[in-house]
Every structure is written in structure tokens, then in C-alpha cells.
Structure 1
Amino acid sequence: MQVLDDIWASVKGNAKTRINDPIIGAFVISWGLCNWDRLALLFLGAGKLDTRINMFTQEVSFINEPSLIWTNHALLLLPLLITAFYIFVLPSVAHAIEKKLKPTQINRHDHTVDLDLNKAIKQKELNKARLRTNPDNEFLAQEVKIDIEREKREAEVKKAEAEIKKSEAETLRNQEVESKAKVTSAELELKKRESEAKTAKLVLENHERQTKVEKNELAISTAKKNSTLASHRFPASYFFLELLSDNLKEEDVIMSLDGLTSCISTIFGYESFSNLLNDKEFTNENLEQVKYLLLDADKVTAGLSKVLINEGIEGFDSKWLIGVLEDIFETYSYQLVYPDTLADIIQDEVNNFDLSSLNGMDEIPTAIENINELIIDEYHYDDRLNEFFVSFSGSASGSHVSYSSVSGPDIELSIEARCYSIIGGAGLGEPEINGGATVKEPEENY
């Protein structure tokens, strides 16, 4: 019995494999559809079974009678034609239909993305409204404080403008009085001294008023600036997101809110956008002090490439996305730089630095006129101290401080520069330069 089971399993497996084959399966189904009447008579027809089998064999035995192939098309030709159509033509038709439907599918996807963006924007507005209505939230107190400061600044501006108008009106009236005094000076010869004294007094008052006007104009300018700063204290991160989204739309690229936040947090050196929002140092005051955004080539390239992959954006790479971000941060005078580029920039600043302030220069009788050589020894970003460090070595020369016609001793320079992190791990401020100078020992000739 085991042998029979094995034989049956082998036959069954081979038959199943052949039926599952697309060509054989398509031909079998096509042949069955084309010869359904013969099959129906074979299994359901009247008469004895051997009679039906003989009749079926005579009708389909094209090997014994090849002419049946040409006289009975349903026997072989038509099933083969249907099979070929199913295998070769039908996939091309399906592909053509899919190609025609592709623009519609893309439009549906764009509509879905726009809908998600609008939902995200509305959700952001809802979150803001909830924050404002929560009396226990610090955001509400901060917003009320900002409104009070703004109203105070506006009141100061209006008050200063009113004082300027009043001063101008008084100046105009005084000028009219002066004109009348000049016209009637001949008639008021007897009161000349009194008129001159009055005129001198008016001139003095005009001078005082003019000084007051200038002070008021300065106050207006200061008030406007403070008002602007107060109105921009709302976290600038959302403003960066809006700028990035607008710039991407100009390139016909749509990015989700998650993608936008990942780009901004990556550029500022944060692990996530939530870390950026929770950082108390991420304020407008600190943003104004940032000059450089240091790019770690490996981290930035990997992070931005991951964003493009997750967003399904094709045809663009991380280098292109960095260029878009550079255009955004140019508005804030930020420079997106790699470590080697930042080291070169700091080297240029050291070349223009007043080296007379270096330690030890007060003991060297040389007025530095030329930096003969300045070499970058090393540069790196210190994660522990959150600073970018560069060290230089070189030499300088110049004339003697007491005798300008005589060269002073050559000087050896050892200079260090540090850019401290202000925001995140990448927002750096101006470099702080310090170092020392010593007299260069003369080279011995052997």
C-alpha cells in the first residue's frame, strides 16, 4: 500500500505542477471552453459509456486523422490562439491600461498628500489654540507677556510720533514768529534788544527741540526694533518648516510634516524634532548669535538620504537637499559649512586678527608686519565640550619697535580658535581666538 501511495503522490504532484504552469493551465482551460459540448456529451450524454468514449475519441483523435486540426478549429487551433493571447497579448494590454491610469493614480496620491498636509496644519493650529486656552501652561503666560510688551511698544511709538508732530508744529510756529520779527524789525527798532534776546531764546529752544526730535526718532526706531523682536519670539522652528516647504514646492516636490521636521532637526544637530522643541536654548536671541551651521558629512548625508527615501522622492539626492537648505538659511546669514571649510574660514580671520594681543607679545620688541607662514595643525569638533577647535602654528616678522629701519626678532606663533555651540550640536557662534608668541630661535648652521 505504501508503494501505491508513493506512486499516486508522485503522479498527483507532477500533474499539479503541470496544471499550475501558466502555459499548460491556460491551454487546458481554453481547450475545455472550446470543447465544452464534447465534454458534456462524454460525461452527461445518453447512451452507453463505451459508445460515448468511442465517439469522443473519433472527434478528437487528430493524431490518427491530422485533417481534424484544420476542419475542427476548436480541437487545437482555437485553444492555441486563446492561450497565446492570454500569455502574450493580455499582459501588454494590462500594462497599457496601467500606464494610462498612472497620471490619475499620481493625482490621487498628490491629493492625499495635500489632505495630510492640510490636516497637519489644522492640527498645529488646534494645538496652538489648546495651549492658549490652558491657564496652567507657560505658553499662555508667555503669549500674554508678548502681547503686553507689543502693546507697550506700540504705545511708545505712538507717543513718540505725537511728540514729534507737536515739536514740528512748535518749530513751524517759531519760524513764523521769526519771519514776522524780521519783517517788522525796522518798525520795532526801539525794541531791538528785546527782539534779539527773544530771537536768541527761540533759536536755543529750536535747538533743544531738534535734539528732542532726534532722540524721539531714535526711540521710535528702537521701539520698532523691540516690537519686531517681541513678535518673533514665537519658536522659529515652524518658520523654518514653512520656508523649507515653500522652497520644495518651487521644485515641484511635496514633503510631509515628518520629513520637513527631520530636515530641520538634522541640520541643527538634533536627534529628533522633539529634542529641538524641548531645548530651552533654541530661542530667537540665541539664533541671532549663530553664524555657522557645522555639517557632519556622514550624519547629514545619511539623515537627509533617509528622509528622501521615506518620502518616496526620486530624482534628487542629499546634496540637492542641502542646497535647498542653504538657500533658506542665507536669509539669516547662516553659513552651512563642513569642518575643513570652517577651519579655512577661521584661518582667514586669524590672518586679519590683531596679533599684538597674543600672550608674550609685550615682551617681544617686534611690530608684526607680515605673517610669513600660518599652518593648520589640527581641527575637530569636541562632543564633550560642545566646541569646534582649530590650532595653528606659524611665524611672523616685522620691524623693531624702537628702530623702524631695523628688523626685529622673528616670532613663532601658536594660536588656538574655538567656536562654541550655541544651539544644538551644529549652531556655532563667532570664533574666539587666543594664543601665544615667542622669539624664534635662529637656525644653527653646521
Structure 2
Amino acid sequence: MWDFLKSFLDSVTNNIKSKVTNPLLGAFVFSWLMFNWDKLALLFFGDGKVDVRVKAFKESVKWVSYGSPNAYESIYYPLITTAIYLFLMPYVHLLVQLIQSVSDLLRSKIAVKVDSKKQLNHGELIKAKAIANMQDRKGIEQVEAEIAQSQALTKKLEEEVQAHQLRTQLINEKYLESKEKANQAKIEKEEQQNKAKRQEQENEKGRFAFLRSKAEHENALISLKFPIAYNLIYELEKSVIQDDWSCSLPNLAEIIAATFGYESFEVLINDESFSALNLKKIKFIAYDADKLFARLESVISYESHKTEDDWSTDWLFEHIQSSLEHYSLKILDIESITEQITVELWDFDLLNELLETDAVNSEMAITNAFFDEIDGIELQSYRWIEGDGLYISYTCIVSGSSDENKGFCGDTIDVNFELKLQLVMGGYALDGYEISKVQASVQDWGEDEEKNLPNSSQTLATLKEPSEF
């Protein structure tokens, strides 16, 4: 019974296998499944009961007519695909094989070339191995020779090492000796350094002591300057109070600073030249009307808002003059100072001052006169140099009586000289004047001796710093 069933199943299986492996049937079934897979999907996996899905499947594959969509998907498209696969694909396969045969032929040629190169390389390899074997033998011989040489060299080195050890021992002895000396020198150097450090510390202490003393001295100077400045402020305040004008202390200090040509009262206090000694040296206080009156106007504008009175810079300037008179100080513009100096020159021992200068002396030496008169003092020009002072240029004539016993003649000398009024403090306080430059030339010469005399018309002697007239 079992054998019968097995035979029956084998018969059915072989029959189905022969049908499926049939090229026409297999190609058609594959094509039909390709175009109708969605219907099979609905049959097996769609919604609803089995009978509903089966009915829907039958409707979808039911033959209606030659032109219906079912006919194309169920018959025409699968048949066309089957025909292409059975009849066209073999020729496509042949074409592919033909194209591949070309590449196979090329691969064969390349393989032959590769084998040829391998054979050539193999020959080169055999040749290289033979050469390498020869080189190995030479290398062995060379190594043996080098070993023998090395042994001889080793023996020589051993002898040198022994000699080196002897030298090293001697060097170590010398080294220990030098090290001991170096340690001794190091100790001496450290002692010197410690001594230098102690000296430097002493110097530093001295420097700090000096700076401290300097600071104390500066503080002392400021302490000495303040009473002088305060007295000037006090005199000015007393003067303006007489006209019922009150002024704050900072603005009074500003007026004093402006009068002496300082930028501020703080600069005045810190100026080393502002002292009682220099205050006594002042002969004139010059002023620039534009600068001074502008600062005075600023003070008046600030203070006048407290009252309804109208105060002027000229009025305040008069009070400044009045307060300075208590210290015998005069405040004048530069032109007025120049005029007053010119008047004072006639009472000044100008003749002797000029005769002592090198320029006039050199001219006197080539004349035959005794000079004892000065005349014709004339103002030429004046110039103000910031931070230096006032320079005034004059001309005059120095004359005398001729001495007949001398060989040269001439009794008149033309003199150009310059006076300098040095700044004492601030920007405007001036000291008394002194001669700073002199030029001199003989005016009259005898007719016989004129050609033999040296040219002295440009003789110049400078007593201070030289500059052009």
C-alpha cells in the first residue's frame, strides 16, 4: 500500500515538474504572475471572507471580451512577454556572448603577456640569486677580514685603555686639586658677593634716607612758600575790600598766579624759584595785556554774579598794582619797561661796563685816544623770549681825547650792545638788567695809517649766550 502511494506521488510530482519546467508554460506562468500579482494578493491577503475574495478574484480574471482590461492583463500582456522571452532573449544572449568573446580574447592576450613577463622576471630572479650568492661569499670573506682586523684593533684599544686609565687617574688627581681650589675661590666669591650685598643695602638705606630728606626739604620749601603767597593774596584782598568787592580765596590765588605768569596757583606753590629771596630780586613784573586781562575777566565774571555791581578788568588791575607796591614791585607792559630802562641807562655806569668788554677793548687797543665819554644812547629794538626774559638792543658812541704819542689815530667808537632782563620766577618776573652782547668798531681813522690797520669793524664779544642782533 505504501509503495503504491509513493509511486502515485512520484508520478504526480514528476508530471507537475515536467509541466513547470516546460519553457512555454513556465514563461507564461511567470509573465501572468508579473501582471496579476495584485489580484493574487487580494485573494490571499485581502479583507473579507474567503468566498468573497474568491468571487472578487474570479471577477478580476473573468473573460469579458477581446478589448476589455481583463483580456490585456490576463492574456495579451503575458503572451507578449512570453514571446519576447522565448524568441527574442536567445538572440540578445547571443549578442552578449559575442561582445563578451572580444573581452575574453583581450583577457587571453593580456594573460599571455603576463606569463611572458613572469618568465622573464623569473630569469632575472635566477640571475640575481646567483649574483647574491657571489656577493654573500665576498661578504663572508670581508667579514672574516674585518673580524681579524677588529681583533687586532681590540688589542690595540686595550693597550690604549690602560694608558688612558693611567692618564685618567692623573687627571682625577689634578681635578680634585683644582676642585678644592675652585671651592676656595667660590667661598671667597660668595664672601665678596655678601660684602657687595651688604654695601648695596647700605647704599639703598642711604638712598632712601636721601629721598626722605629731599621730600622733607621740598615740604619745608612749600611751607616757606605758602606764607609769601598768602601775604600777596592778603594784600590784594585788603585792596579790593576797600571797594566793597569780595572775592573767594581760590580766585584771589588765581589772580596772583596770573600776575606772576603761572598757569595756576598750584604751579606757583610747587615752583622752586618762588621764594622770598627771588622776590627781593624782582625789578619788574612784565605782563601781556591780552593774556592777563582775559584771566582777570574770567575771575570777575565768576565773582560778579554774587552782586549787581559792574566791575572791570582795569579796576582790578589797579588793585593788583596797589597790592604789589607793598613789596616795592612794579607791574608794567614790556614797552613801558623798555622805556624806563632807557631812562635809567643815563644814570647807570654804562661807560665803565662797556669799556671792560672785549669788543670795546679790542677797538681801543688800535686807537690813539683815551676814552672817557658816552653819548647818543638810542633804543633800537626789544624782544621777549618765553621762559628766558627780555632783550633790549641799543646803540651809542664812546669817545675820548687823542694821544699824540701813539702811532694810530681815532677817538670815536660806535657800539651796539644788548641788555638782558633775566626771568626770576614764573613767566613775567624780571631781575635787573645786565649787558649780554657787545659789538664795537672805530669810527674815525687817520689818513696815513688807515691802510695799515687791521679790519675790526666786525669784532664781537659775547658775555652770555650769543645770538644775532
Q: TM-score, normalised by structure 2?
A: 0.42
Q: TM-score, normalised by structure 1?
A: 0.44
